[in-house]
Homo-oligomer: A and B are copies of this chain.
Amino acid sequence: MIVRNAWYVAGWAHELSTTPLARRICNDPIVLFRTEEGEVVAMLDACSHRGAPLSRGAVVKCGIRCNYHGLVFNKEGVCVDIPGQDNIPRKARLRVYPLHEKDNMVWIWMGDAEKADPADILDYPIHNDPVNWPTRYEMAPAKSGYLLLVDNLLDATHLAYVHPDSVGGTSPDVHFKAEMDVQRTKDGVRSERTMKNSPAPPAYTNCVPFTGPVDRWQEFDFIAPAVVLQYSGAVLAGESRKTSQQQRFDMRLFHALTPETDTTSFYFWSASNGHAKNDMSATDLIVEEITKAIVEDKAMVEAQQERLSELGEDWLVDNRSDGVRLLMRQAVERMAKEAQEA
């Protein structure tokens, strides 16, 4: 289920430039670019003349030029130049999609333009604080629907099975017995998991040389329809999470799962380093470890998508650990319903 009246991450801010970028979002073929003034634009990626993709074109003074017969469309999608003729038919215009640049990301609204309010976009100030939170920005295309990837993030009981050698560690019990605090939020659901006195998983010890078991926390904030903010970390068991600075693992992950089609997605994620802010190699290490985990997740979720595409979902039986995931799904359904009623 794709909700169109919603903001999705269309790209990292640095991905948009005066070189047009073709990206399919919510099944629509879109060209993303920056005007010469630096403004971001999203437009249907098909010229109104003969359908050629504008992403094969070029950004020019007044907008983007189709490189088939030279038509130019401004940032409102209106054709402003048809070489070789003076009058421009009013129908020569293309759908533009509301875009908003914020926190190093470009957000797109795929539904009714008049309902698009940038004030509804979540805040993620960490992306604007490179001094305290050195950050790297990544993207992985995924052959699964976006909700399966959100499911994956919100049911952490998969960690010891899918990620024994990276972020999970080998003990399922650590995850099943985690203290859980779950709350609905205005836009989704928030869960806090605490795993006291537990072995640090390989991804953590590869980043920080823990000398013993740790107290570990994972916070997941789901904001419908497609973002998960994750705050994970660990300190030596018994130390204070708030104050201890020795042997501290501390990262923020931003996950945005943007539908490409009904069964494929873009997995945008950033990793911000809270424990060694003066050491960029520490951020690189986090990225290396999280990349492993995302490769592992994708392998499982893409295989799951194949089965669900074939067999449907009606026959499936939920677990107790699906609670957070189901609250997430409810939030998305509520959002879809509201969009229809409005």
Q: Which residues of A contact B (CB under 8 A)?
A: 29, 45-46, 48-53, 56, 65-71, 82-85, 89, 91-92, 151, 155, 157-158, 160-162, 172-173, 176-177, 299-300, 303-304, 306-308, 310-311, 313, 315-321
Contacts and interface: CB of A to CB of B under 8 A. Distances in A.
Nearest to A151: B50
Copies in the complex: 3
A70 B172 contact: yes
A296 to B, nearest CB: 10
Given A53-B307, A56-B300, A66-B161, 4 more contacts: A49-B317, A51-B307, A69-B321, A84-B177
A257 to B, nearest CB: 16
A310 B172 contact: no
Contacts of A68: 158, 161-162, 300, 304
A168 to B, nearest CB: 11
A82 B316 CA distance: 14
B307 A29 contact: yes
A177 B67 CA distance: 18
A48 B315 contact: yes
Contact of A321 (B84, B92, B176, B311): B84
Contact of A320 (B50, B84, B303, B308): B84
Contact of A316 (B48, B303, B321): B48
Q: Residue among A157, A304, A319 with the most chain B CB within 10 A? A: A319
B317 A48 contact: yes
Contacts of A91: 317
A84 B68 CA distance: 60
A50 B316 contact: yes
B52 A321 contact: no
Nearest to A88: B317
B49 A320 contact: no
A253 B205 CA distance: 57
Contacts of A92: 317
A91 B317 CA distance: 7
Contacts of A89: 317
A318 B155 contact: no
B313 A51 contact: yes
Contacts of A313: 51
A319 B85 CA distance: 8
Contact of A56 (B65, B303, B319): B303
Contacts of A70: 157-158, 160-161, 172
Nearest to A84: B176
Given A29-B310, A91-B317, A303 B158 contact: no
